[in-house]
Structure 1
């Protein structure tokens, strides 16, 4: 297990999730991707396609804004990566900030 941090796309509060290192992050968005199913941040993440994080919940450092946001993992269908077809302006790839 590794601890990974994510920024809320609305208020930039930091959330920490403990998860398996093999899960590949796709993006963090303020809204869920069409066709992705999201687990709660406190559920087992290995079988999920992403995680719904509530900014300000126990995994958040500080208060946060109280709004949900979504971490999506890379997803495959018939051996091909699924493209969510989101406008690039709606997606954050900065996981190291």
Structure 2
């Protein structure tokens, strides 16, 4: 097990998690990735691989794993995930790329 530090994307408070060193972090985001499942950090026991239970970990800034005070908001650590040997990507967000700019 190793201790890994993460910063809250809102207030920069530091959280520390103990986890297996082989896990690959994908990202830390203020919102969960679409289609990803998260296990709350307080349910991690240090012995069970969190990736066996979910695609990432939900942290709450200011909770027991956070140093000092925090903003109290949840944020999400997502692991790199694979389906049938291919790296899984979250479903894309639809973006309206049709812009009309008023010209003078």
Answer 1 or 2: higher relative contact order, Cα 8 Å, separation at least 6: 1
Aligned to 1:74: 80
Over the aligned positions, Cα root-mean-square deviation in angstroms equals 1.2
* TM score, norm. by length of structure 1: 0.83
- TM-score normalized with structure 2 length: 0.78
Larger radius of gyration: 2
Gaps of 5+ in 2: 94-104
Runs of 4+ in structure 1 deviating by more than 6 angstroms, as ranges, are none
Counterpart CA distance in 1 for 2:55 and 2:24 is 10
Extract unaligned runs of 5+ from structure 1: 87-97
Aligned length: 86
* Residue in structure 2 matched with residue 2 of structure 1 by the alignment: 2
